[in-house]
Amino acid sequence: MRVLVLADDLIWSTRLVAQVRAADVEVSSVRTLAVFEAGLAAADAAIVDLTARAYDGIAAITLAAAAGARVLAVGQHDDVQLRKRALAAGADRVHPYRKLFDDGPGTLAKWLKPVVEASAR
């Protein structure tokens, strides 16, 4: 089981990686769409930070969903249109930053549980 995190913000990238590790799951962090796309072949799930400047978060979600990865997106709570676009592009869930700040490990463990269980079979 491997999760690929796409985030160009160092603080959020570090936080997301630590939260996935807390769920006892292998995780890699990347900062560009090209490296993200190349890493999808080895990923079961992906987390995409939507408010990046270095890549298009919706394009990243589309790529990950097409590769068969479960996708969780994270972004601003008040950007309803972007959150809707992320869901339409294939994200399983879109969480506001605050949700992952307050309860990231629990939230991510719950989201990853079906993937972890499937890979254990």
- Domain of residue 63, residue span: 2-108
Residue 55 domain-assigned (yes or no): yes
Is 115's pLDDT higher than 80? no
Q: How far apart are CA 38 and CA 51, in angstroms?
A: 21
* Contacts (Cβ under 8 Å, ≥6 apart) of 60: 6, 33, 36, 46, 48
Residue 115, domain member (yes or no): no
Q: Which of 3-7, 18-22, 35-39, 58-62 has the lowest mean pLDDT?
A: 18-22
* CATH number of the domain within which 43 lies: 3.40.50.2300
Residue 114 lies in a domain: no
pLDDT per position as a tens digit, 56-103: 999 999 999 999 999 999 999 889 999 999 999 999 999 999 999 999
Digit-coded pLDDT (tens) for 30-64: 999 999 999 999 999 999 999 999 999 999 999 99
Let me know if residue 116 belongs to a domain.
no
**Model-level pTM?**
0.95
113 falls within a domain: no
Number of domains making up the chain: 1
